[in-house]
A and B are shown apart, each in its own frame.
Chain A
Amino acid sequence: MNKSNQILRAENLSFNYGGEQTPTILNISFSLSEGEILGVLGPNGGGKSTLMKIIAGLLTNYSGEIYFQDCDLKNLKKFPYSKFSYVPQHSELNGILPVKVLEYMNFARALYSDVSANDIDELLNLVGILHKKDCLISKLSGGEKQRVLIARALVNKPKLLLLDEPTKGLDSNGQDQLLAIIEKIKSRDKTSVIIVDHNINQIIRNCKKILCLNKTSHWHNKTDLLTKNILEDIYHCEFEHLLIHENDLQNNHDSTSTDPHLFCDHDHHQSLGKDPHSLLRGVKK
């Protein structure tokens, strides 16, 4: 791994919420380079959001090391909040206050002296929500809310963007649009992104690196294959059929090969004619 453009490195990261016997995460190690996207997969309670909160500086009582641009976060006098941005799940927004999109953006803008009103408009335009800047956030759809949250997270031009289940509650179209926006941000600013998602397909399609997490870590680099065994081990269940690599799937479709796929033995040609996305879903037995 080339360390010069490495943005984040976690070594033997463990965390235990007070009072719990088993650690929420144990000995997690991974690294992320500039402009890379790391997808975090795993079942509920597997420690995905905990990991995000640790990196974002919300949970500090962890063991192990996190290096941001080769500096141990624990040794820094001041946490580099301005270089990180964390987007929690939108359900965590307080729905009592009538906050407009522009007002929300201006809360973040007020923290940074070098951000102009034009910059805010540009960000809203980037996420495709500029026309709704005078709308109440509570009146927006789930996808629109997520775009607003992402736009807010970009106000400080972060080096690392942390997204906790940004596609939650969105239909597949909405998910695709949102992930296209994330890809656009990554390309534009060389922002590194860590994204937690339950949708295995989206993670595999959009992330160069994947971290499968269920308390104990399984680091997976996409240059190797994410195997069925790894997923079954992570999710503690068996998958009836699962196709991992879309390219591989496409190759099967184009060829006349009837060889069984790496993870399953069902008929790809028949399934492809229906919905390629459905093929990529793990189906629990």
Chain B
Amino acid sequence: MIVIQSIQDFFHYDFLFFALIGTLLLSITCGLISPLLIARKNAFMGSAISHSTLLGLAIALSLFSSENSFSIFSMTLFITIICTLFLAFSTYRQKLPSDSLIGIFYTSTMALGIIIHSLFAKNKTDLLSFLFGNILLLTKEDLILSAILLAISAPLIIIPFKKWIFLTYDEEGAITSGIKAHLFHYLFFILLALLIVTSIKLAGTILIETLLLVPGFFALKFAKSVKQTFVLSVLFSTVFAFIGIILANTFGLPSGATLAVVLFFALVLSLLIKKIYHLFK
């Protein structure tokens, strides 16, 4: 009964409706990019980008008041894309493992962000809400921005879909077939940065990683073909993000954390069911 009431709330209150639409848009895009992120072995890179948003946020919050969401969003996006391009440039087809560089980079940018925030932020408490996400912070302006960015990102994955998979599966074969691997490399990380910055308010800079990793992990565990992988990932991401947002509203829980926990439990449960099924098969 409480849950039904909660669902009805999403259609009565604008800010909740925005949150619901934002969640669905975000989960579809995360579901699309997640298997690629895992298959390209860029999960750690995703973490680095999401943590480096803190630097952008700290600079933005030092320059603008937290009500000026468009300016904050733009500045955070700008700084994050610069950090991302640096990381993408440093890791493209390198012989040395890139994880050490990524590790150094993301802890340093995070530390720098915290120092800048503590020295110059106009409101010292703002950063926490960005770390873990707050559904109530989502405005109509945010939603429009998210919709525009997600409308750009999704076609960039869907239209050259076969090229993405070819490059991921057989990189050298794809390059020697004429696919411009370096362009796709940079495009992938810019898409990731866009997605992460767009989803800061909903899931937070730290918890967005769950949305980026769990759907793909689930799909790659269960799917029997490439097409199935992406369909499963999007379905899993959308269904459980929807459930998460409903539960967060029903029980007054933080949205980002609830989404992360729901996705995690859904994954564990499905893996358990698979194990049990194979035991009795």
Chain A residues close to B by CB (< 8 Å): 53, 56-58, 79, 81-82, 84-88, 92-94, 96-100, 103-104, 106-108, 110-111, 136, 149, 152-153, 156, 162
Contact = CB atoms under 8 A, between A and B. Distances in A.
A110 B178 contact: no
Size category, B interface:
20 to 34
Given A94-B39, A106-B162, A110-B162, A99 B226 contact: yes
Interface in B42-68: none
Contacts of B125: none
Contacts of A108: 166, 173, 177
Leading 9 A-B pairs by shortest Cβ distance: A81-B178, A107-B166, A86-B176, A110-B162, A96-B39, A88-B172, A56-B176, A97-B39, A107-B162
A76 to B, nearest CB: 13
A111 B177 contact: yes
B225 interface: yes
B235 interface: no
B176 A81 contact: yes
Contact of B175 (A58, A98, A104, A149): A58
A220 B191 CA distance: 51
A110 B226 contact: no
Contact of B229 (A86, A98, A104, A106): A98
A156 B170 contact: no
Nearest to A155: B177
Given A96-B39, A111-B178, A88 B162 contact: no
Interface of A is mostly: mixed
A162 B175 CA distance: 14
Contact of B170 (A53, A92, A98, A100): A92
Given A57-B176, A97-B39, A149-B173, A107 B223 contact: no
A221 to B, nearest CB: 28
Nearest to A92: B172
Contacts of B223: 98
Interface string B212-225: 00000000100111
B170 to A, nearest CB: 5
6 contacts: A86-B172, A87-B173, A92-B171, A93-B170, A106-B162, A162-B176
B169 A88 contact: no
Nearest to B176: A86
Of A58, A86, A97, A99, most B-chain CB atoms within 10 Å = A97
B116 interface: no
Contact of B169 (A86, A97, A111): A97
Contacts of B179: 111
A135 to B, nearest CB: 10
A136 B229 CA distance: 13
Contacts of A94: 39, 168-171
Contacts of B227: 103
Of B41, B165, B171, B173, most A-chain CB atoms within 10 Å = B173
B35 interface: yes
Contact of B224 (A57, A98, A149, A152): A98
Interface string B2-35: 0000000000000000000000000000000001
B229 A110 contact: no
